[in-house]
Amino acid sequence: MSTYSAPVRDMHFVLNDIVGLEEITSLPGYEECSPDLVEAILDEAGKFATGVLDPINAIGDQQGAKWMGGEVTAADGFKEAYKLFVDTGWNAMPCSPEFGGQGLPTVVSMAVNEMWKSANMAFGLCPMLTGGAIEAIAHHGSDELKATYLPNMVTGTWTGTMNLTEPQAGSDLSAIRSKAQPQADGSYLISGTKIFITWGEHDMAENIIHLVLARLPDAPPGVKGISLFVVPKFLVNSDGSLGARNDLVCASIEHKMGIHGSPTAVMAFGENAGAIGYLVGDANKGLGYMFTMMNHARVNVGLEGVGIAERSYQHALSYARERIQGAPIGDKSGETKAIIHHPDVRRMLLDMKSRTEAMRTLAYWVAGQMDRAHNHPEATARVTHQARADFLTPVVKGWSTEQSIEITSTGIQVWGGVGYIEETGACQYFRDARITAIYEGTTGIQANDLIGRKLAREKVPGSTAKALLAEMATFANSMGNDESLLAMARQLNDGIAAMQRATDWLLATYDSNPRAAAAGAVPYLKLTGIVVSGWLMAKSAQIAAQQIASGASDDFYRAKIATASYFAAHQLPLAAAYAAAIAEGSAAVLDIADGLL
């Protein structure tokens, strides 16, 4: 079994040279942060991921969380690792100093969180959900709710969940039936059953704070009648101490394909007197509030795609360097060599590496847009950066997770027959990756959001996409005279042209034929991921070439040009195929009779 090593060099390159970390740390509110501090944080986070989380990853997969009589016990080592995680302050890193957090930029948290997801994705889901719950309460909760819950959630002493899905509803949140009955003291009695609740019950923290969607008695039907409530596992006394156990129970946990170390709970609320809950914000506006948490989770699930792909790549690379098998094609020495010398193995490894770097660059760049949207001193700049973050959030989630499934599958292929054997560890990454394209909104849901709210129904339809296309085209036409960069520029220009055609077609079609547009939604999401990442990879190659021309002898820069060139040659050509499928393929999807499917 290989050992995870955080790709700190590439993380620093993306943060500093692509995202513009120095500019971000100079924004109001981030003055206490600096590139030097970030370097120290990443180094320490890498040590924690390698030394604490990676060793218990396989244990979590093999043992899984255990349910008995409503109580859930984490796999061996998880409780101790979580205590160390909290004691060393990692949970508080991205949170507001107002509630005891460190207030670091989102993009710094992005890099650190990638390490948690690479080293132990099941473990990393717990603080991820807590972070989303913190965001929702901080943005929409009353001062009393913030004071009662956030300090302990920020430290990680208490964890958080989000409770949306119900058995009969699935992704259709308008079908939610959970009820909230007002009480004389201002609280509410919550009743109903929620499913697929990540870390909904466990023994790692003192309290679990559930954010629950439910309906008031007079609520209008559909999504406009959903309210959001804080429902703690243990009630909190006025002095902040823990009180009685609330009327909620984990009825069971799911037996899943992967992420076995992360309990996925069925939560039953109010089976006796009623679970006491507290309204977040205004009544009937809960879905909008929950989207604060969901958007946080969607970007972080996209980052899971990056992290698990990186881990699978490292695992495959380690094996390819050690496994001696056969003489490579074209090698006249007659010697058997490590399989890394075989051309197809090299292709697979380079494919995994280049696509993972592209995903990382996109995720970090979008996080940088979020930081600028939150803290830039100019209002117009904040609006522009927020629009870009909104447009690309479903792409980070949907495209990156779809990529991770393919990359982790390739990881098994590098191992060959033994990769199909669980003991090698290659299978776990594939199994863990598979859920990422489903939870927090399937790829289809992300794609519909992209072509609907983010493109066709934007205030000025398509304005964000068109501005991004124009910026990418300007860059592609000014890449320099290096022949390798010129080839990359041509490939990037072709990809941009394909995205432009697809964007124009969707904008022209969406209102008159929304079904045809929806039939091309997932191809458009994938096309956008490829082209925007191809642009960022081309930027990376240009910077690397400039460093080499200035005398840098670091092999990192040569490797960066190689991975960017591979991505341009092997991924960007797919953009034209996706554009054709979008504009010309809807009839093939829609015209077939249901009985012929």
487-523 pLDDT, tens per residue? 999 999 999 999 999 999 999 999 999 999 999 999 9
| CA distance readout (Å), 387 to 16, 58, 362, 370, 390 | 22, 40, 15, 9, 5
472 band by pLDDT with thresholds 50, 70 and 90 = very high
Cα–Cα distance, 144 to 245 (Å, whole number):
20
pLDDT of 540 reads 97
Please enumerate in sequence order all residues whose Cβ is within 8 A of that of 113, keeping only pairs 6 or more positions apart, or say none. Answer: 124, 128, 300, 303, 307
349 or 290: which leads in pLDDT = 349
Which residue matches tokens 């012929």?
596
Could you give the 3-state DSSP secondary structure of residue 19?
Answer: helix
pLDDT of 253 reads 98
Asked whether residue 244 carries a pLDDT value surpassing 80, the answer given is yes
Asked whether residue 331 carries a pLDDT value surpassing 90, the answer given is no
Asked whether residue 110 carries a pLDDT value surpassing 80, the answer given is yes
Domain that holds residue 504: 452-597
141 band by pLDDT with thresholds 50, 70 and 90 = very high
pLDDT of 300 reads 94
- When pLDDT is averaged across residues 189-194 and rounded to a whole number, the result is 97
Asked whether residue 362 carries a pLDDT value surpassing 90, the answer given is yes
Domain-embedded: residue 432: no
398 or 223: which leads in pLDDT = 398
pLDDT of 94 reads 81
Percent of residues, the chain, with pLDDT higher than 70:
99
Which one from 31, 378, 440, 471 is the annotated catalytic residue? 440
- What type of residue is 200? G
Q: Which range is least confidently modeled, 93-107, 256-270, 369-383? A: 93-107
From the number of C-beta atoms within 10 Å of its C-beta (0-12, 13-18, 19+), residue 315 rates as buried
397 band by pLDDT with thresholds 50, 70 and 90 = very high
- When pLDDT is averaged across residues 351-379 and rounded to a whole number, the result is 97
Domain-embedded: residue 488: yes
pLDDT of 32 reads 85
pLDDT of 101 reads 85
- What type of residue is 336? T
- When pLDDT is averaged across residues 128-141 and rounded to a whole number, the result is 94
pLDDT digit string, tens, across residues 203-227: 999 999 999 999 999 999 988 999 9
pLDDT of 319 reads 97
Asked whether residue 484 carries a pLDDT value surpassing 80, the answer given is no
pLDDT of 372 reads 97
Mean of all residue pLDDT scores within the chain: 95
pLDDT digit string, tens, across residues 403-460: 999 999 999 999 999 999 999 999 999 999 999 999 989 999 999 999 999 999 999 9
**E runs forming strands in 383-527:** none
Domain-embedded: residue 573: yes
Known catalytic residue: 440?
A: yes
Asked whether residue 296 carries a pLDDT value surpassing 80, the answer given is no
CB neighbours of residue 189 within 10 Å = 18
What percent helix, strand, coil does the chain show, rounded to 5?
60, 10, 25
Asked whether residue 585 carries a pLDDT value surpassing 80, the answer given is yes
Question: Into how many domains does the chain fold?
Answer: 1
pTM of the full predicted structure?
Answer: 0.96
pLDDT of 430 reads 98
- What type of residue is 244? A
- When pLDDT is averaged across residues 477-492 and rounded to a whole number, the result is 86
pLDDT of 41 reads 96
170 band by pLDDT with thresholds 50, 70 and 90 = confident
pLDDT of 579 reads 98
118 band by pLDDT with thresholds 50, 70 and 90 = very high
Domain-embedded: residue 197: no
Cα–Cα distance, 145 to 154 (Å, whole number):
13
- When pLDDT is averaged across residues 329-336 and rounded to a whole number, the result is 82
Asked whether residue 294 carries a pLDDT value surpassing 80, the answer given is no
| CA distance readout (Å), 207 to 141, 232, 244 | 19, 7, 11
Domain-embedded: residue 28: no
Please enumerate in sequence order all residues whose Cβ is within 8 A of that of 572, keeping only pairs 6 or more positions apart, or say none. Answer: 491, 492, 494, 495, 530, 531, 534
Asked whether residue 395 carries a pLDDT value surpassing 90, the answer given is yes
What are the backbone angles phi and psi of residue 119, rounded to the nearest 5°? -75, -35
Domain-embedded: residue 321: no
Q: Which range is least confidently modeled, 230-244, 470-484, 559-573? A: 470-484
- When pLDDT is averaged across residues 74-83 and rounded to a whole number, the result is 98
Asked whether residue 48 carries a pLDDT value surpassing 80, the answer given is yes
pLDDT of 530 reads 98
99 band by pLDDT with thresholds 50, 70 and 90 = confident
- When pLDDT is averaged across residues 173-198 and rounded to a whole number, the result is 95
pLDDT of 75 reads 98
Asked whether residue 295 carries a pLDDT value surpassing 90, the answer given is no
554 band by pLDDT with thresholds 50, 70 and 90 = confident
- When pLDDT is averaged across residues 192-197 and rounded to a whole number, the result is 96
pLDDT of 335 reads 86
Cα–Cα distance, 387 to 390 (Å, whole number):
5
Domain-embedded: residue 165: no
Which residues make beta-bridge pairs with 533? none
Domain-embedded: residue 582: yes
- When pLDDT is averaged across residues 224-242 and rounded to a whole number, the result is 96
pLDDT of 255 reads 97
pLDDT of 291 reads 79
